[in-house]
């Protein structure tokens, strides 16, 4: 008879104190659930940055779906995905793009689910054009724009977690533990 291995995933501070424990069974359940967060990027080349968001979502046990879809190369498939992922229950969409960074705004035009935009430095202007395109949405169709690159991608996932944690107490506790672990890291830093 096949047996399922159930191990524990844990987060500890630098002194070995456990801050957060989750069984692999509940982690796998989270990952097989319908996505609460949709992550979309304009090109596979953007994944180097957007992986920072995906890693945080995995760490916090947030069900998500990540796709490559472009506002200008695959507009019909993009709209179809937005409709499907939100119909399945996604409550936040993270959209990362570099060149002609209209992806987040175009998605926001099609849904009332909050859209978090991550500018990517894949352009000759090092992402400054992407940042300005994303942050300067005309009044009426908002996107929330994060920092350029990996810090923005990671913060987009944390911001998504904060939104979801408003109505999910267990996620709130996981997020609080994650934040406490980061504080502990700072407190344990020593200077030469
Ligand atoms: C945008 O143009 C993508 O978001 C990417 O950042 C950039 C370059 O895309 P590739 O030429 O690498 O596919 O559409």
**Predicted confidence (pLDDT) per residue in 14-26, tens digit:** 555 555 555 555 5
Domain count of the fold of the chain: 1
Q: How confident is the model at residue 5 (pLDDT cuts 50, 70, 90)?
A: low
76 falls within a domain? yes
122 falls within a domain? yes
Q: How confident is the model at residue 100 (pLDDT cuts 50, 70, 90)?
A: confident
pTM assigned to the model: 0.86
Which residue range(s) make up the domain with 98? 34-187
60 falls within a domain? yes
Distance CA 61, CA 178 (A): 12
The residue contributing the CA closest to ligand 1 atom 6 is: 98
Distance 73 CA to ligand 1 centre (A): 10
Phi, psi (degrees; rounded to nearest 5) at 188: -90, 0
Distance CA 35, CA 164 (A): 12
Helices (H), the chain: 24-32, 47-59, 75-87, 103-108, 128-135, 150-165, 169-187
Pocket flag, ligand 1, residue 45 (CB < 6 Å): yes
Q: How confident is the model over 138-155, as pLDDT tens digits? A: 999 999 999 999 999 999
Tokens 């630098």 identify what position?
Answer: 14
Distance CA 119, CA 49 (A): 9
CATH of the domain at 172: 3.40.50.1970
22 falls within a domain? no
71: three-class secondary structure by DSSP: coil
6 falls within a domain? no
Distance CA 75, CA 55 (A): 27
Pocket flag, ligand 1, residue 111 (CB < 6 Å): no
12 falls within a domain? no
Of residues 63, 56, 27, 64, the one with CA closest to residue 175: 56
Based on its alpha-carbon atoms, the radius of gyration of the chain, rounded to whole angstroms, reads 18
23 falls within a domain? no
Q: Of the given ranges (20-24, 76-80, 87-91, 156-160), which has the lowest mean pLDDT?
A: 20-24
141 falls within a domain? yes
Pocket flag, ligand 1, residue 120 (CB < 6 Å): yes
Distance 46 CA to ligand 1 centre (A): 7
């Amino acid at each position: 008879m096949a047996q399922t291995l159930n191990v524990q995933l844990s987060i500890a501070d630098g002194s070995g104190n456990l801050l957060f424990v989750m069984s692999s069974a509940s982690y796998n359940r989270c990952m097989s659930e319908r996505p609460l967060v949709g992550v979309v990027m304009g090109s596979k080349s953007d994944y180097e940055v957007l992986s920072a968001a995906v890693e945080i979502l995995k760490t916090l046990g947030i069900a998500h779906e990540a796709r490559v879809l472009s506002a200008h190369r695959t507009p019909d498939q993009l709209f179809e995905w937005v409709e499907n992922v939100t119909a399945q229950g996604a409550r936040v969409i993270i959209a990362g793009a570099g060149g002609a960074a209209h992806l987040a705004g175009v998605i926001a035009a099609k849904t009332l689910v909050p859209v978090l935009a991550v500018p990517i430095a894949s352009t000759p202007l090092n992402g400054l054009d992407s940042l300005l395109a994303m942050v300067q949405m005309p009044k009426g169709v908002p996107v929330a724009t994060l920092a350029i690159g990996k810090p923005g991608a990671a913060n987009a996932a944390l911001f998504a977690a904060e939104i979801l944690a408003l109505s999910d107490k267990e996620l709130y506790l996981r997020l609080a533990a994650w934040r406490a672990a980061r504080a502990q890291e700072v407190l344990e830093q020593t200077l030469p």
